[in-house]
Amino acid sequence: MAPLFQRSAGVLLHPTSLPSRFGTGDLGPAAVAYLRWLAGAGVTWWQVLPLHPPGPGRSPYSALSTFAGNELLISPGRLLEDGLAEPAWLDGAPSFAAEWVEFGAVEYWKDGLLREAFDRHRKQRRPDLVRDLEDFRHRHRGWLDDFALFLALRRAHDGRAWWEWLRPLAFREPAALAGWASVHRDEIELVVFCQFLFFRQWEAVRAAARQEGVKVLGDVPIFVARDSADVWAHPELFLLDDERRPTVVGGVPPDYFSSTGQLWGNPLYDWPTIAADGYGWWTERLRHELTFADAVRLDHFRGFSAHWEVPAGDADATGGRWVEGPGRAFFDAVSAALGGLPFVAEDLGEITPDVVALRKGLGLPGMAILQFAFDPVDRSLFLPYKHHRDLVVYTGTHDNNTSVGWYLEDATDEERDLLRRYCGTDGREIHWDMIRLALGSVADQVVIPHQDLAGLGSDCRMNTPGVAEGNWRFRVTPWMLSEEIQERLADLVWTYGRAPTEGKGSGDRG
């Protein structure tokens, strides 16, 4: 089996973190400019977090749908280009913060903008947009109707979870749904239209990425949120009781991040039922994800071998147990349907021999995190001298502190000492020392969070596991996209043989 990656480099930055005067990064000109910046540094992979609509807490790993796109990423600038917005609408946007996403304010303003764009479309009925919208509806009919009805219902119930709706709606009684939909058709059509805009704009970003020679690495959470269109529309796929409440929920046992584990609360899959259907829902989910990206990271890969099952109602994850997952049969079915397995296995945490055997048997690259590498007593497999080619090496991920923040605040004195010894450095530019270690690894792929390229501290981390509020807000500002940072990265990418050998991108240093 050919490796997923040639020797190359990637950068991790979620689109919400891109610069924009509209309060959050989006799929407009700044996304294209960022792709050019990456290509100019010789970077050939852009890693993003899940692009789905986040639920409470704004976590993209707890989305309202595992198929839909995040409306917050729709670009006002592209609406203007499409004739769906007036310049005055954008000129009248509030003055948003440049450094952080102010979710509430941005969501309120963008909701109004999208409603105006929808009204304009219905009045104009441009033949090309009408045709493209109908084509979109046809191609995505397998999930779109359920999601549009779900989101319209959720909005009509002031954002309350689906199990708090009237029982006939929560339990999807056909007559109740049909009656509600007939009264609220405009709200349902608004959702469909916004999904059309998201996919239209993301496809334009993907086209720009191909032009720049940059591929996209996406991200697939293994579990879905209970308050999602997926669980509401397909309760038979999950371990729920007669009232459609989870009997068990997902999490992980105590680990580096938490002494009591992590209690995610996601409903767990009824794998025998899913297997009896030939893994059809999962296959379509992954097929759909590969329309977002060239390859995807499977978050919590070990759950396909065995997952941590916690009784519903437990206060933390300590009372859970390991339960066998679908294993090789699942991936054989997916491979047969998709013609391959373009996946990265997120194999962090408590990894047992069965998980390693599954990953290696499938030929999937795993992950190594340099922030976890420098305990001088228990020499980690993440130390660069222990790396192997079928790895994706990160200085840190979205769940880690930044490298500077980790070094200054989280690392022990012993870890700091070993890291300085290993790098032959005084630690004054520890982020570049760690970037150099990653790029110099024998591993085929390296991914650097953009915060590390800019040498940012702990106030700029993307997420703190176990903390519900204040996450996912980080944004880059213009100095973080400077030519100096780009050239320094390009030099290291070329030095360690990760620059593209042909096409766009840096690499000709002669």
How close are the terminal C-alpha atoms of the chain, in Å? Answer: 34
DSSP string, 197-225: HHHHHHHHHHHHHHHHT-EEEEEE-SS--
Rounded to whole angstroms, the Cα distance separating 500 from 245 reads 50
| 91-107 per-residue burial string, b: 16 or more CB within 10 A, e: under 16 | eeeeebeeebbebeebb
Q: Are 351 and 302 in contact (CB under 8 A)?
A: yes
Q: Tokens for 506, please give them.
A: 């840096």
Non-local CB neighbours of 95 within 8 Å, separated by 6+ positions:
none
**If you ran DSSP here, which 8-state letter would residue 440 be given?**
T
Closest CA to 154 of 258, 225, 256: 225
Angle at 343 between CA 341 and CA 347, to 5 degrees: 125
Q: Tokens for 509, please give them.
A: 């240093």
Q: Beta partners for 448?
A: 11
Distances, alpha carbon 442 to alpha carbons 178, 344, 397, 433, in Å: 58, 17, 19, 16
Active site residues: 299, 346, 399
Q: Tokens for 403, please give them.
A: 């490298």
Closest CA to 303 of 335, 258, 349: 349
